[in-house]
Amino acid sequence: MICAGIDAGSRTIKIVLMEADTLQVVAKGLTDQGVEQDKLTQKLFQRLLKSKGVKRKNVTRIVATGYGRNAVSIADTTITEITCHAVGVRHLVPNAVTIIDIGGEDSKLIHLDKSGKVRDFAMNDRCAAGTGRFLEVVARRLGVDIGSLGELAAKSRRPVPISSMCVVFAETEIIGLLASGTQREDIIAGVQAAIAARISALAGRNIDNPVVFTGGVALVSGMDTALQSALGHGVTISPDPQMTGALGAAILASNQLDEAGS
C-alpha cells in the first residue's frame, strides 16, 4: 500500500509517496505554487505516480498540510503543518527537540517533548521580514539569484545592520545602502542576521538542544550560521529540509491506516 503526503506551501507544492508498511519513500517532487493550486497538485501527483508505475487505486491514504491544504481535493484529510513538520523532522533526526521552520510566508519555532510530540510553538505569520519572502525581495533588488545569496554573504567582512523590520521599509533601506556604496555581500549578510534575529525573538530564552532547521530557507547557505549566532546554540539542517512537511504528512497518513486496521 502507498500513502501520500502533500505540503501545499505558499511558494511550492511538495508531495511524498511512501510505502505504508515500511515508511520507505517511493517518490517525491515539488512544483511552484500558483493560482490553480488544485490542478498543479494533481498534475504533480500524477507525474510522480507515472514515474514509479504506481496506479492511483494503490494510494490508500492522502494527507494534506501547509498553507493551502484545504484546497487539495484529492486529500482524504488535512493536518496542520506544525504537526507534520514535527513528525517529518523527528523521523529524520530522532533526537530533535527544537525545530525552526522558515518557509516562504511564515516562520515557526516548534518545541517537542521527549516523545517527539509538539509541546508548544511560536509563529511569525504577520510579517514577511523573518521569512523566505524577505530573501526573495533582497535577491530581486540586488539583481542576483536567491540560490547565490549564501555564497555572497560568506564574502562579507562588515555585515550592515538592517534596522527596518518590515519588508517594504527594509527594501527602501537597502536601496539607500546601495546608493551609499554599501557592498552587496554586506547587505545580504545583514539581511540573514535580521531574519535570524526575528527567530531569536520568537524563541526568547526557550531553546533546547538539539535544534533542527527545516523549510525552504534552510537551503540558503549561511542561514544556519546566522541562526547559530543569534540563538547561541548549534543548529543542524534537516536532511531534505524543503520536503519535511510532506514527509510528515505521508507518515501520518500511514499511521491513520494502522489505526483504522487495528
**Per-residue pLDDT, 125:** 58
pLDDT in tens, 179-205: 999 999 999 999 899 889 888 888 877
**Per-residue pLDDT, 161:** 86
H and E: helices and strands count for the chain: 8, 10
What architecture is the 1-93+240-262 domain classified under in CATH? 2-Layer Sandwich (3.30)
**Per-residue pLDDT, 129:** 60
- The answer to whether residue 238 scores a pLDDT higher than 80 is yes
- The answer to whether residue 85 scores a pLDDT higher than 60 is yes
- The answer to whether residue 165 scores a pLDDT higher than 70 is no
Q: 137 falls in which pLDDT band (50, 70, 90)? A: confident
Rounded mean pLDDT, 128-137: 75
**Per-residue pLDDT, 104:** 80
Q: Where do the domains of the chain lie?
A: 1-93+240-262, 97-238
Q: Could you tell me which of 6, 10, 218, 228 has the C-alpha nearest to residue 104?
A: 10
**Per-residue pLDDT, 262:** 46
Which of helix, strand or coil describes residue 80?
A: coil
User: Using N-to-C axis directions, what is the helix angle for 223-231 and 184-203, rounded to 10°?
Assistant: 50
Q: What are the residues whose beta carbons fall under 8 Å from the beta carbon of 19, sequence distance 6 or more?
A: 1, 2, 3, 26
| The overall pTM is greater than 0.95 | no
**Do 1-93+240-262 and 97-238 agree at the fold level?**
yes
Task: Kindly report the number of other CB atoms within 10 A of residue 79's CB atom.
Answer: 21
Distance between CA atoms of residues 32 and 216, nearest Å: 12
CA 177 distance to own-chain centroid: 29
Q: 45 falls in which pLDDT band (50, 70, 90)? A: very high
- The answer to whether residue 51 scores a pLDDT higher than 60 is yes
Set of cell numbers at residue 23: 515508511
User: Which residue would you say has higher pLDDT here, 171 or 51?
Assistant: 51
CATH match for 97-238 among 3.40.50.140, 3.40.50.10710, 3.20.110.20, 3.30.420.40: 3.30.420.40
